[in-house]
Structures are given as structure tokens and as C-alpha cells.
């Protein structure tokens, strides 16, 4: 019996696929050719739209059987499974694909175009993803964690998948989530936290049926399920005395466990592993390398075509803050660069886009360009851990675009180097608005579209999201939404940590300002501000040597304060407060000015949002209004704490005479 098109629970915001988004398709005559599970999904989507808007859908008609406005045709044999070709001739728009995913993505392409899909004539154009894997990591806990809760670093309520220590009985919303992901091109997700606790570890064995149920809900939209696993599983679950990756019994245990996974979930994607990091077990306990650890799991997955995503987030979180030669930024490169070429084909090294931890501004990780013989996946963070926790409007598309377009070591861009795919930590929960802050949905949509095309214009992607989320929006609403989102990342940067120095957040939960929150911490995130200056000296000469991890031309550019870009100056150098930036301002005056400007820009955005009250449904408008009130309160607190701290440290007054406490 065919599955129904997912119906969202009452009161749930349908995000970027409300029924009106399908009006252009639903009011026309459509022919669908082909068979298979995803073709059935395409048919259900079109049939539901036709029921709403008066069109008609026909299956597998013979050539010459009347004229159609739209033809969705499965069976072109020179395309990949996800590729599709769109053309328009003689009044008919045609989407052709070889695989079911391609046909589904082709349908959503037509939906994005709206009425423009049915006007004029176009020569055939093939669309294919630049990256084959476009994945979300959910940091969802099965059992509620006493510190991190149901979702670690989650700011949108509880988990979509888990509740009260088990999988949810009702998975309609999971199916609806898969639909949203397919519409922006995401094709994989991991269903549990990379910090694998005792309950979550058992998903690999005696609780595998729960994972299979979730995989079944996502499958109709072409989203493959992955699972985070503990490296110590052979010991904690299998009763073995060791988890040594070179031990034959350990290898046999993983092979058998993986075989059982594929029996339950034939299209299972693979494993995600956080090892030897922040207390998680790993191969170091046995004197083995991370490549040997990853290859153990890759060998178990290889017969089934699966992949292990091995996270490179490995560093000393018990370092001595007194030791200025220790530098957390160096850690990933120092741990992994010597292993280039040692990872198996079915292993992907997953590298955070920056060397630290998803700060509002940090340089691109030098590891991304330093391992040409290793499949790397680049990891972003859609959940706004350090960018306002979905209480602040902070659209991250421009930041991600800068990262993905960055040309590493005079070679390929970051987007081109991510041969293992693009991965992000999800920002979705069971909140009625999916992401807590309704405007944070734009981050999830933008990630999917940039994962499909890393060099896409993020502003155009933002306009896509606006048009799909508010299909009947008048120009004033569309322009207002674009205005409050487009500059919001730089606004957030202005009123938080300056010039790339990072952190300055409350320890633990990471929300709100604390200039010295991590200054004397074993976690290793410092700014070394004193009466004379601020910043971390990371040059080769007189610093930690981190700048030397880059190739040409970046190592030379970052080495000197004279050539280092202003926005990263304090990440790479300790400079006096009177150091003159390329903008012509001193460092301390830049701090004062940007923090005042950031608050003013939040006030302006709040006013724009207030002016849209009659154009947005009341519940959504009220939620965003409440978030803007909190953002403004928090931005003022950031401004006053940061400016006061540096006024007291430097003794230099604001040249414009504004009040600093």
C-alpha cells in the first residue's frame, strides 16, 4: 500500500515546502514515466499537488497520448543516480533522470522555479551534485543526558527520533523531515550523537530495530541512515578483552556486527566515529594510529559499500594554560597529516572547516589542503552553538561560502577538496518551528544547497528559501526577509569576539559573553589580553608555528601582522591596542566601534521585522519577535562587557566619547 504524503502535526510550520509552493506544478498536466520506490514518492508529491490545485497526473502513457505541461521521465542511461536534465520545448517542460533520486531532485528543481519552469524554451541542461555525500550529523541522545539533555548543542527542543529512552512510535514527522532534506539536496544523516553513551552504543546491536524503523521513514526521500558508534564496542557490547584494531577477534566482531546491520538496513550508509577526543575511546589506548582504527571499520563496511566517517577533532583538552607553546589550533594537523595515504578507500576523514571549533570567524583548517591522498569530508555546524544558539538571527550562508570558495595552497578550493562530502551538525529538533528560531531554517536549507553546489551564490540560495517558505510573499516581505538575514552573520561578529580571536563565551553552555571564560582553561582557548595588547602569536617566528602549517601563499600572508587580514589578526598575532589596522583604525577603536555598530544593526533588523507583522502568520511573527528581543538584550550585554573589559585593560578612551562602563 503506498505511503501517504507526510502530513505535519497541527501547528507545525511546514518550513520551505508549504502546499502553495507546489501551485505551479499542481495546476498542470503531468506525465510520470518509470517505476521504483522514489518514483512512487515523486508521483505522490505531484498527485497531492494536483488534488489541491486542479491539475492532473498520468502514469506511463504512450508517446503521442496528448500534450503535457510537465514530463518526469526515468530511464536516461548516461546520467548518475542523482543527476537530472531539464529542458523545455514545444510547451512541455521535461525532467529526465536515470535514478530515482535524480527524478526526485528534478521535481524539486521545478518546484523551486515556480511559474518560470513553464515559460519560454530552454536547451537541455544537466544538473549534478558537486559532492556525492551531503550529510547531517544529529547529536541526539536516546537517553536524556544529565548535562547536555536530549540533544547535545540542540536549540530546537527535543529529538525528532528519540524520546524517553527509545525511538519515537510516531515517525510521520521524521518522514516529513526527509522530504525537507531531499528538497534542498541532503542525502544522508546520522541519527545519534558522536559522543556515544551507554544507551546509544546499543543501537548497533540489540536496539538495531529502532534504527531500522527510522531508516524506513527516511528512505522514501532518498536519505540514507548512518549511525555513530563507540570504538570500544567490542569490549562494552561484545565482551571482548580488547578493542585493538589489529586484533583478529576484534576485526571479526566488527565484521559480524556490520553484517547484521545490513541485514536490517540494506541501504545503511555507514558509521560515524569520534575517537580519542574529549574522553571518547580510541586506538591510542592500544598504541595504534587513527588510520589503523578507521581502517578496521572500513574493512567491515567495504563488502556492503558503506563508509566510516572518522572525525579529526582530536586535541588535548587538559592542557596547561601557562604553556604558550601549546596550541589547540595545531592539533588536527599535527595528529593526522603524517597519515596521508594510510586511510582505506572506505574511510573518510571528517575535518572541521576551521582549526578550532566553529567560531564566528576563524581561518580555514590547514589540514584540508594537506592530505591529497586521503578522502576528506569538510564539517560545518548548522546548529548555532557559537553563533547565537538560534536565539539570535545569524544566517551563515556567507561564512560557509567564503570557506568553500577558499583556495587552499594555490590549488583546489575547499569545496573541490571535499571528496568525501560536506557534513554538518543539524539544527533541527521537535520544536513546532523545526529550528526554534523560524529564520534559522534558512541555515539548514542553505547548507543543503551549498553541499550540492559549493560555489553557488549564497544570496541567490537565500532568495530560494524565502520564495519556497513564503510562496505568495509580496515584494515588501521578500525584501524585508532578505534584509534581516543577509547581513546577520557580520552583525553577530561585530558585537561578539573581535578580529578572529574567538570564544569569549560562557564556559560549558557557550551562550553569552565572558571575556575570560576560557582564558585559564585546560580546554585551550585563549586570547592573552593584558594591559599592552591582545591576541595569540601563532607565527613561525616567535609563536606556536601554526601559521607554518599552511602552504603558499597563506603561510607567508598569516606570518606577519602587516599582511595578515584584519579579520584574522588576533587569531594569528598578539598586537598592541594601538596597532593600526588596514582600515585605518586602531585595534581598540575597532573593538569599540564594531560593538556599538552591532547593537545598532540588531535594533534596525528588529524594526524591519516588526514592520512585517501583517505579512507573516501571527505565530511565526511572534516567535521571531521574541527572539529579536533576546538578541538585542544579549547584544547589548556583549557590547558592554567587551568594551568595558578592553577600556579597563588598555586605558584608552573611545575617541567618539560614547559611554563605556
- Annotated catalytic residues are 278, 357, 385
Strand partners of residue 96: 73, 85
User: CB–CB of 435/156 below 8 Å?
Assistant: yes
Number of H helices, E strands in the chain: 20, 20
User: In this structure, are strands 421-425 and 134-137 parallel, antiparallel, or unpaired?
Assistant: parallel
Q: Which of 449, 450, 438, 447 is nearest to 485 (CA)?
A: 438
Cα–Cα distance between 119 and 117 in angstroms, integer? 6
Cα–Cα distance between 15 and 470 in angstroms, integer? 9
Q: How many CB atoms are located within 10 Å of the residue 311 CB?
A: 25
Strand partners of residue 586: 580
Scan for cell 587538559, then name that residue. 318
- Tell me how far CA of residue 97 lies from CA of 46, 128, 237, in angstroms: 17, 10, 44
Sign, Cα dihedral of 508, 318, 545, 375 = negative
Q: How many CB atoms are located within 10 Å of the residue 119 CB?
A: 11
Question: Grid coordinates in use for 253?
Answer: 566482531
What are the backbone dihedrals phi and psi of residue 605, each rounded to the nearest 5 degrees, phi first? -65, -40
Task: Compute and round to an integer the Cα radius of gyration of the chain.
Answer: 25
Cα–Cα distance between 652 and 530 in angstroms, integer? 13
Helix, strand, coil shares of the chain as percentages rounded to 5? 40, 15, 45
Q: 659 in helix, strand or coil?
A: coil
Scan for cell 542553505, then name that residue. 446
Amino acid at each position: 500500500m503506498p505511503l501517504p504524503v507526510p502530513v505535519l502535526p497541527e501547528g507545525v510550520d511546514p518550513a520551505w515546502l508549504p502546499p502553495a509552493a507546489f501551485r505551479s506544478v499542481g495546476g498542470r498536466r503531468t506525465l510520470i514515466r518509470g517505476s521504483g520506490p522514489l518514483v512512487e514518492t515523486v508521483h505522490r508529491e505531484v498527485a497531492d499537488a494536483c488534488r489541491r490545485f486542479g491539475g492532473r497526473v498520468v502514469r506511463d502513457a504512450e508517446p503521442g497520448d496528448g500534450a503535457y505541461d510537465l514530463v518526469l521521465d526515468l530511464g536516461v542511461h548516461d546520467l548518475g543516480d542523482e543527476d537530472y536534465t531539464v529542458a523545455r520545448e514545444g510547451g512541455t517542460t521535461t525532467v529526465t533522470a536515470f535514478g530515482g533520486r535524480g527524478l526526485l531532485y528534478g521535481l524539486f528543481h521545478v518546484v523551486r522555479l515556480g511559474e518560470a519552469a513553464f515559460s519560454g524554451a530552454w536547451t537541455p541542461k544537466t544538473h549534478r551534485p558537486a559532492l556525492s555525500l551531503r550529510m547531517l550529523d544529529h547529536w541526539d541522545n536516546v537517553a536524556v543526558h544529565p548535562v547536555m539533555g536530549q540533544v547535545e548543542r540542540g536549540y530546537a527542543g527535543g529529538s525528532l527520533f528519540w524520546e524517553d529512552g527509545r525511538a519515537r512510535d510516531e515517525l510521520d514527522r521524521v518522514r516529513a523531515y526527509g522530504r525537507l532534506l531531499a528538497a534542498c539536496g541532503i542525502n544522508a544523516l546520522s541519527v545519534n550523537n558522536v559522543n556515544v553513551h551507554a544507551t546509544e552504543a546499543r543501537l548497533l546491536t540489540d536496539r538495531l530495530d529502532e534504527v531500522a524503523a527510522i531508516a524506513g521513514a527516511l528512505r522514501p526521500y532518498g536519505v540514507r541512515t548512518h549511525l555513530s558508534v563507540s570504538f570500544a564496542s567490542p569490549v562494552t557490547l561484545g565482551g571482548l578483552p580488547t578493542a585493538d584494531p589489529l586484533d583478529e577477534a576484534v576485526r571479526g566482531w566488527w565484521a559480524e556486527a556490520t553484517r547484521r546491520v545490513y541485514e536490517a538496513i540494506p541501504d545503511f550508509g555507514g558509521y560515524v566515529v569520534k575517537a580519542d577526543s574529549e574522553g571518547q575511546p580510541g586506538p591510542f589506548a592500544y598504541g595504534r594510529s587513527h588510520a589503523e582504527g578507521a581502517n578496521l571499520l572500513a574493512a567491515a563496511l567495504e563488502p556492503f559499500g558503506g563508509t566510516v566517517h572518522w572525525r579529526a577533532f582530536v586535541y588535548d583538552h587538559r592542557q596547561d594554560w601557562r604553556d604558550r607553546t601549546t596550541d589547540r589550533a595545531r592539533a588536527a594537523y599535527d595528529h593526522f597529516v603524517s597519515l596521508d595515504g594510510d586511510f582505506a578507500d572506505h574511510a573518510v576523514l571528517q575535518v572541521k572547516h576551521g582549526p578550532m571549533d566553529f567560531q564566528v570567524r576563524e581561518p580555514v583548517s590547514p589540514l584540508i589542503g594537506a592530505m591529497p591522498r586521503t578522502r576528506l569530508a569538510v564539517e560545518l555546524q548548522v546548529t548555532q552553538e557559537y553563533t547565537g544558539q538560534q536565539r539570535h538571527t545569524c544566517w551563515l550562508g556567507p561564512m560557509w561560502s567564503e570557506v568553500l570558495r577558499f583556495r587552499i595552497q594555490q590549488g583546489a578550493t575547499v569545496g573541490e577538496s571535499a571528496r568525501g562530502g560536506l557534513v554538518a551538525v543539524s539544527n533541527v529538533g521537535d520544536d513546532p518551528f523545526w529550528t526554534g528560531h523560524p529564520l534559522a531554517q534558512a541555515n539548514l536549507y542553505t547548507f543543503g544547497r551549498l553541499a550540492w553546489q559549493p560555489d553557488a551564490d549564497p544570496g541567490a540560495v537565500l532568495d530560494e528559501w524565502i520564495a519556497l517558505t513564503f510562496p505568495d510573499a509580496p515584494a515588501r516581505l521578500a525584501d524585508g526577509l532578505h534584509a534581516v538575514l543577509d547581513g546577520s552573520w557580520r552583525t553577530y561578529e561585530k558585537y561578539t569576539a573581535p578580529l578572529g580571536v574567538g570564544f569569549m563565551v560562557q564556559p560549558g553552555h557557550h551562550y553569552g559573553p565572558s571575556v575570560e571564560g576560557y582564558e585559564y582553561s585546560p580546554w585551550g582557548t585563549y586570547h592573552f589580553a593584558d594591559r599592552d595588547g591582545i591576541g595569540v602569536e601563532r607565527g613561525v617566528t616567535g609563536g606556536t608555528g601554526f601559521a607554518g602549517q599552511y602552504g603558499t601563499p597563506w603561510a607567508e600572508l598569516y606570518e606577519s601582522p602587516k599582511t595578515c587580514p584584519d579579520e584574522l589578526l588576533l587569531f594569528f598575532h598578539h598586537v598592541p591596542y594601538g596597532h593600526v589596522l588596514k582600515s585605518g583604525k586602531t585595534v581598540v577603536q575597532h573593538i569599540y566601534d564594531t560593538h556599538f555598530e552591532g547593537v545598532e544593526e540588531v535594533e534596525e533588523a528588529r524594526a524591519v521585522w516588526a514592520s512585517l507583522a501583517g505579512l507573516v502568520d501571527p505565530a511565526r511573527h511572534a516567535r521571531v519577535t521574541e527572539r529579536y528581543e533576546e538578541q538585542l538584550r544579549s547584544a547589548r550585554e556583549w557590547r558592554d562587557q567587551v568594551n568595558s573589559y578592553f577600556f579597563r585593560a588598555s586605558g584608552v578612551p573611545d575617541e567618539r566619547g560614547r559611554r563605556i562602563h
